Amino acid sequence: MPWDFALILLSLALAVPFLGRHRIRQLMRMPETTKADRLALYRSTIVFQWAAAAVIFWRAAAHRVPAASLGLAIPNPRAVLVISILLAALILANQLASLRRLALERDESRTILPEIARKLFPQDPSERVRFFGVVLTVAVCEEFIFRGFAQHVLEAALGGRALIGILSSAALFAVAHLYQGRHGLIATFIVGVLFASVRSWTGSLIAPMVAHFTADLAAGFLAPSRLALTHARSEESEGSRH
């Protein structure tokens, strides 16, 4: 494995999780976030993700890695279209079910995700426009980084078996989301395995990108109202005890 590929993978395994946890800890220490805080987070996320993807694409091109090996091809457009629709529908249904459970949940103490969402997700139309850019960026860049580059490099380095590439890239993707806690870590690994399997099967990143975009957009646009309902119910329950 080239030294720069190894350095990129090491950064994804160590630096990215560390920076993510540090950023979330800073966020959690803030009593509330303002519009300016959220927009600043959106801007920094967009810049960081595109910069990381550009560096990785540059190094892959320097080593003459074929675009098809990175998932940047559509071998069977009709199959990719059908699978993209089905995968996005599956992910959307799961996201809606999760949000429905969240609306009925009175105890938010089991996970920090509701608090993170409450402080990060858009609160008005202008924020939603900018959040759309974040979602598009994350869907494209993270899929290219983890399911395009990392999956290919790890598969090639660990014996050339598709299953190894799928599991190792999913593990790397989960570790990058370590800030979400144990529940989020497990869920992200499962999603990573699913997306990596589809990428391996179709030879394209299109379906994972579409599904990733669908999941994050649904969460960002629908979760704030669900969280407000959950918070109101929690306060009502707390008030009834006194």
In tens, the pLDDT along 84-107 reads 999 999 999 988 887 777 666 555
Global confidence as pTM:
0.87
Helix, strand, coil % over all residues of the chain, rounded to 5: 85, 0, 15
User: What does each of the 242 residues of the chain score in pLDDT, given as a tens digit?
Assistant: 899 999 999 999 999 999 888 888 888 888 888 999 999 999 999 999 999 999 999 999 999 999 999 999 999 999 999 999 999 999 999 888 877 776 665 554 456 777 777 888 998 899 999 999 999 999 999 999 999 999 999 999 988 889 999 999 999 999 998 888 788 889 899 999 999 999 999 999 999 999 999 999 998 888 776 665 555 444 444 455 55
Write the single-letter amino acid at 209: M
Indicate the Cα dihedral angle 11, 17, 18, 19, nearest 10°: 90
* CB within 8 Å of 207: residues ≥ 6 apart: 80, 83, 84, 87, 88, 198, 199
Question: What's 107's DSSP letter?
Answer: -
Q: In this structure, what token pair is assigned to residue 200?
A: 């391996």
Q: Which of 74, 64, 48 is nearest to 145 (CA)?
A: 48
**Residue 200 and residue 205: Cα distance in Å, rounded?**
9
